[in-house]
Amino acid sequence: MNSLKPQTIQSAPDASKPYLQEIQKGYGFIPNLMATFANSPAVLEGYLALDHAWGKGTLTAQERQLILLTVSVENSCGYCTAAHSTVLKGMMKVDPAIVHAIRSKVSIGDAKKDALVAVVRELVSERGHISEVTQKKFFDQGYTPVQLMEVLVGLALKTISNYLDHLNPVEIDAGFKPEA
C-alpha cells in the first residue's frame, strides 16, 4: 500500500523544496524516488548528503554506479535497478553487456569489475560479511581497504532507497521504464 506520494516543489514540506529545486536543475526532472523522499526533509537531506560525500571518495563514478546497480539487483528493487541501468547505459555509455551481466548475476568478463561486484553481492547476501577469498580477489585487483569501506556507503544508500521502494512502491519514471 502506497501511503507516501511523490511530492512536487509546490506540495513538498518547505524544508524539502530547495533540495527538489536542485534535483530539478541537475536532472531536468525530479525522479519519483526523490519526490517520495521529499515527504521527509530529514530523509531527503540525509540521502543527498550521503550521496554527495560518497562522490568525494576514491571510487570512480562508474564504479559507484556498478555498486548501486548490484545492490539494487541483490535487493530485488525494480525502481533502482531500472534507474541505475539507465544511468550506466545512457549517461555513462557503459557497454550494455556489463549491465546485463550484473542483472543476470553472471561474470562481466573483466576481473576488476567482477571483483567489485562479487564483494558487493557477498556483502549484501551475507549481511556485511565477506570471505577471505572474495576480499583477496578485491585487493588483488588493486582496490584498497579504504575503498572496501567506501563500498559500504553505496550499500547504505541503496538500503535506504531499495527498502523504501519495498515498503512504499514508487512508480518507475518514464525515462527509466525501458530498463524495467
* Number of CB atoms found within 10 A of residue 50's CB: 15
When computed from its CA atoms, the radius of gyration of the chain, rounded to whole angstroms, is: 16
Output the pLDDT for position 1.
57
Which residues of the chain register pLDDT less than 70?
A: 1-2
Task: Tell me which residue has cell 544508500.
Answer: 157
Question: pLDDT digits over 57-82, tens only?
Answer: 999 999 999 999 999 999 999 999 99
Helices (H), the chain: 17-27, 32-37, 41-54, 61-74, 78-86, 96-104, 111-125, 132-140, 145-167
Does domain 61-167 bear CATH number 1.20.1290.10?
Answer: yes
Rounded-to-integer distance, Cα 166 and Cα 180, Å? 15
- Listed residue (107, 138, 104) closest to 120, CA to CA: 138
Output the pLDDT for position 151.
98
Domain positions in the chain are: 14-54, 61-167
Average pLDDT, the chain: 97
